[in-house]
Structure 1
Amino acid sequence: MSRPTGNTRLKAARIAAGFVSQQALADALSAAARELGIRGLMVGVRQVRRWESANPPWPQPDCQRLLTHVLGQDIRELGFTPPWGQETGARPSGAASGRRPPVPVETTVSQPDTAATDFATITRAHRRLYWSVVPSVLHATVMEHARLGCALLPQTSGAPRRTMAAALAESFLLAGRIEFFDLRDSALAQETLVQALQAAGEADDALLGAAILAHTAFIPGWVGDREKVAERMTAARTYARRAPASAEVWAWLDAVEAECLTRCGDNRAALHLLGHAEDVLATGAPHTTPAWMDWFDAIRLAAFKGNAQLRAGHLPQARETLLGVVTALRDGKQRTVILGDLAAVEAAANRPEEACRYASEALDQLSETWYAMGMDRVREVRRALKPWESEGCVRELDDRLYGWSTTVSALGKV
């Protein structure tokens, strides 16, 4: 006789509560959401099916509340394991593939309150190191730090637990940023950003949740899935409304969606959003931008705008915007992107020598601060220079682009 599989605890609790089918439980959970004042939350039968699978995902906080309310049992008693561990070890996403092995956890140990602040201090240091350390090196360190956070989180409570969870969410967010922007691994970034969102939920930090959700929009944006971009950006803005979001946060959300829209081919909508973002920054807001949001300011907004103008074919405007950015910008990683965009402007304007000059400057910067997005821009420019590939300037660019040093950097620094 075959043994039952899947999350038998949840299934047993469902049947014991009188819900014969998964659809019946889904309906009851949706009704409970309305009763408890949780707006806009509908639970479908597919979600219940996932919860009753052999590897059920950890429910989001609102869903945890519904499940415990309707079924009358603790969330762990219903067969769910938090992503930061259990008695026999943590189970980060990706562990089954061997990329992220379990971490032993002593759940009977109680950490001192200083553990959360110490953990958060290291998280802040990693945030600063992102701008100068080789991505693959920093990524390994950040993930080990996140694994430590997964082990420590069950050993904290109260305000220190929220501090620990917020720092853990930031660590996973940083790791996801490295995976997407530096390592160019969208699938792995998606996994990591889900973990970041789970930790932000434990911290009840809506602003971190908004930032994480906006980062997830880049993933479908890069493949032109506009519907999924819109869905994720709506979620990000919903979370931002729950928090005291600053003008920079709101402007950045516009900029993220604008960049995704340019990838989806809607340059007009992108430029409209960027204009709105400029108005938001000019008007301001009474709230402070969180310290962890160190990737955006007025200069970087102009960088988003210059790229959108380039993709819309507004070459004189793009050139003017990007020249202003490259003069003011001190971030080495972003400079590679701006120089690449300037090279693309000149290539589109049939000025191959100027295009090669900016592309070479980008390669100079990449030799100091590697950034996969910057190298992507240079390669796009080289493809645009195909009509002039017999020209001396293009051949010189090829010598640099495919030289030993650059090629090894491209393979080794990611």
Structure 2
Amino acid sequence: MSRNDALRAARLKSGWRSADAAAAALTAHGRQLLDDPHFTVSPRTWRRWEGPRPGWPSEETALVLRDAFGKWPESLGFTTPPGWIRPEHHEETSMQAARFLDVTAAALVPGPLSRQQVDPALVDYFQSQLEGHYRADMMLGPHDLIGTLGPQYQLIDKLTRSATGETRRGLLRVGAAYAALVGWLYQDAGDMSAAVFWRGITQEIALRARDPHLIGYAMVNSAVVRTDLGDGAGVVDLCEAALDEPAAVVPKIHVMAMQQQAHGASLLRDRAEVDRLIDQAARLLPRVDDDLPWGNACRRTPGYLEVQRATCYGRLGLGVEAGALWEEVLALVPATARRDRGVYMARYATAAATARQPEQAVEIVREVAAIAVETGSARMRRELETLERAMRPWHDAPVGQDLAEALAPVTEGT
């Protein structure tokens, strides 16, 4: 990069249209914050900060930048010196540890617990709740549901310890589905440590249930995490493992594993393999007719496989092809599926930028910003960061400023 884009973007979002205006505003802010009439940032200093070698500000200037923008200098493109530890680092580390303990608590309740009679009808009760949770996830995003599902999983785990026979196996199966959904919610919220933890819980319970369909489903769920981590080979390994005994699993598992393996192929830059896997999954999709309560996105999501193909094409840099697919998909997605629609539109905007249509990209993204703030989806924010990278060729053009203004509601909340 030839200049400090992070600081420039922060300046534009604050309404400071030039280095002179930014220097004057930060000077005034610093004098008030520090109660120091001599605090000064010159226009020349600000221009150096936005250049390719911004250096590192003094300690008091770092505090002023943090107060003005809500970010420490390392998040504003400055060159972090060796040994720098921002003042709130230890507090943040403790908070992250506390959050992770909250995540694991529901899955790690010590036993044995007092035994109780378990009615077999409870298996159907918990299964019937799943579809409502899936629909709520599409409309609300992760944060509102995590607090609900954790205690429900804990109750299922408690009942499983008392149940016997087929009731116990039924509770294990439904518990695996709940754990998988919790893992997905944490992944969507951007907490990959918690997501990996819950994916592991899903695999453990699936193995305890001795259910080959659930074991395959758990493998695909882990592959989704590997996709977000950019590990194409890991994705392929897990999807191939899910289909290790193809005759043992229902067609739905085949469809899920093939489409996720296509994502792995796109990470490995293999378009031919992407198309082969998606086409093969499409031939199997009409055969998905099981009554399993989990993993039904392939039946519930409009244009499910074309969503995967468009995403893979976007990852491969095929902007024109991806854009055409996104236009078709978005015509099918209902307005109530807010989170999914926002993610798809962000990818559509990136495809437009890749196809060198920056004005169209900005027009698309205006709606996405509002959805990202509303749902709190970290996945959507990551898609918007990808868009920002694709828009770098127009950084200094008016359309680049339009993009910064469109994304201001999102970046101001980070």
Q: TM-score w.r.t. structure 1 length?
A: 0.68
* CA gap 1:116/1:379 in 2 versus in 1, 3 angstroms: same
Counterpart check, 1:321 vs 2:325:
yes
Q: Give the superposition deviation at 1:96.
A: 9.5
The answer to whether structure 1 residue 307 and structure 2 residue 307 are counterparts is no
- Give the alignment of 1:236-275 within 5 angstroms: 236-238=242-244, 241-243=247-249, 245-246=250-251, 248-275=252-279
2:260 & 2:254 partners in 1: Cα distance?
10
Counterparts in 2 of 1:95 and 1:197: CA distance versus 1, 3 Å: farther
The reply to whether residue 382 of structure 1 matches residue 388 of structure 2 is yes
Q: Map residues 172-211 of structure 1 onto 2, 5 A cutoff.
A: 172-180=179-187, 182-211=188-217
Matched, 1:235 2:241: yes
Structure-1 separation of matches of 2:149 and 2:119? 22
Extract unaligned runs of 5+ from structure 1: 1-93
> Do the aligned partners of 2:103 and 2:194 also contact (CA within 8 Å) in 1?
no
Of 120, 128, 132, which residue of structure 2 is paired with 1:125? 132
The structure showing larger relative contact order (alpha-carbon pairs under 8 Å, at least 6 residues apart) is 2
State how far apart, in whole Å, the 2-side matches of 1:393 and 1:289 are: 49
Q: Check the 8 A contact 1:179/1:188 in 2, yes or no.
A: yes
Paired amino acid for 2:233: E
The match for 1:288 among 287, 290, 294 is: 290
Identity among equivalent positions (%) equals 18
- What secondary structure is seen at the aligned counterpart in 2 of 1:373? helix
Cα gap change, 1:143/1:264 in structure 2, threshold over 3 Å: closer, same or farther?
A: farther
Equivalent-residue separation in structure 2 for 1:311 and 1:224 (angstroms): 11
Q: C-alpha displacement at 1:299, in angstroms?
A: 0.2
CA deviation digits over 1:289-318, x for unaligned, max 9? 633223224602101111222333433322
What are the equivalent positions in structure 2 for 1:364-379 lying under 5 Å apart?
Answer: 364-379=370-385
Deviation, structure 1 residue 198: 2.0
1:159 is matched with which residue?
166
Displacement after TM superposition at 1:167 (Å): 1.2
**Structure-2 separation of matches of 1:228 and 1:264:** 11
Counterpart mapping for 1:135-154 below 5 A: 135-154=142-161
Deviation at 1:141, TM superposition (A): 1.6
Which deviates more, 320-329 or 270-279?
270-279
Residue matched to 1:65: none
Secondary structure of the 2:294 match is coil
Question: CA 1:98–1:379 in structure 2 vs 1: closer, same or farther (change >3 Å)?
Answer: closer
Corresponding residue for 2:351? Answer: 345
Whole-angstrom CA distance in 2 between matches of 1:95 and 1:199: 23
Q: State the one-letter code of the partner of 2:313.
A: Q
Structure 1 residues 389-398 or 168-177, which shifts more?
389-398
Q: Which sections of structure 2, spanning at least 5 residues, go unmatched?
A: 1-97
Shift of 1:95: 11
Deviation at 1:323, TM superposition (A): 0.7
Q: Could you tell me whether the CA contact under 8 Å between 2:236 and 2:265 is conserved in 1?
A: no
Q: Is the 8 A contact 1:103 1:147 kept in 2?
A: no
Go from structure 1 to structure 2 and tell me whether the alpha carbon gap of 1:226 and 1:384 turns closer, same or farther (over 3 Å shift). Answer: closer
Q: Distance in 1 between matches of 2:168 and 2:291?
A: 23
**Deviation of 1:98 (Å):** 6.0
Q: CA RMSD in A?
A: 2.7
| Aligned match for 2:123, one of 116, 119, 122 | 116
User: Which residue number corresponds to residue 26 of structure 2?
Assistant: none
Partner deviation per Cα, 1:302-354 (whole Å, 9 max, x = no partner) = 01111222333433322221110011112322222221222112211222111
What amino acid sits opposite 2:219 in the alignment?
Answer: L
Q: Which amino acid aligns with 1:208?
A: L
Are 1:170 and 2:172 matched, yes or no?
no
How far did 1:367 drift? 4.2
- Greater alpha carbon shift after TM alignment, 362-371 vs 165-174: 362-371
Find the aligned partners of 1:329 and 1:95 in 2 and give their Cα distance.
34
Normalising by structure 2, report the TM-score.
Answer: 0.68
State whether residues 227 and 264 of structure 2, in contact with CA within 8 Å, keep that contact through their aligned partners in structure 1. yes
Amino acid at match of 2:119: P
Report the alpha carbon displacement of residue 378 of structure 1 after superposing the two structures with TM: 1.6
Contact 1:201 1:209 in 2 (8 A): yes
State how far apart, in whole Å, the 2-side matches of 1:336 and 1:193 are: 25
